[in-house]
Amino acid sequence: MRQSSKISKLTGLRAGFALFSIFALIGISGAAIAADAAPMAPAAEAKAAAPAKPKIDPAVGEALYSNGDASRGVTACITCHGPKGQSAISTWPKLSAQHAAYTAKQLKNFKEGTRANPIMMGMSAALTEQDMQNIAAYLSKQAISQGVAQNKETIELGQSIYRGGIAAKGVPACAACHSPTGAGIPAQYPLLGGQWADYTNAQLLAFREGVRKNSSQMTAIATKLSDQEMKAVADYIAGLH
């Protein structure tokens, strides 16, 4: 009987110790989990406190376009492209009313070097992406610049190419992407109507000769056009509105 009593007490002690060990382990594990979880809170707070993306500001874009920023070496765009993006000579394209996404993309391409132009590559070098978006937003709000076709002898050819393309050469109608009025499609295809004929012709040549490489679609189209066809459609585009 005494032996049985001793065995019972020993068994009870062992059971109590095992139970205590289990609770101790649970407590340690809980503390470890809490310790691991603790660093997550500051990270979550930091994420929540991340600064918002700067808002596009046309007013800031206007100031940069008209005055530049000497402290950063940014030259005023107005010097070549004229007040409100309406250039006075065909050497420089008209930029007024151009879709903001297109203008910003061209500036970025100049800066990256994917669109080659010694002057514009230098001009865009000091611009930040925010600068580009601000300038583009300002220009998109300006009145469209009107123009007229000059060559009566090629007006029909230009109209035919712009509106119907050249089926025999696999040239699509320009109007399919740039719209019948030359207004383009925002964020996809640029406004062309009213642009200087000399500038449009120069760009078609640049695409055909591989000098301008930032649109594979336009390169494919331009390689199928003759000099006469380019001049005719460029002149016709100048009078679109």
Q: Residue for token digits 């000091």?
A: 126
Instruction: Using alpha carbons only, give the angle 198, 188, 109 rounded to the nearest 5 degrees.
Output: 65
Q: 133 and 102 in contact (C-beta within 8 Å)?
A: no
Q: How far is CA 4 from the centre of its chain?
A: 87
Task: State which amino acid sits at residue 83.
Answer: P
Q: What is the pLDDT along the chain (241 residues), one digit of tens a residue?
A: 444 444 344 344 344 434 334 333 334 344 443 444 445 445 555 555 667 788 999 999 999 999 999 999 999 999 999 999 999 999 999 999 999 999 999 999 999 999 999 999 999 999 999 999 999 999 999 999 999 999 999 999 999 999 999 999 999 999 999 999 999 999 899 999 999 999 999 999 999 999 999 999 999 999 999 999 999 999 999 999 9
Q: What pTM did the predictor assign? A: 0.79
Q: What pLDDT does 30 receive?
A: 45
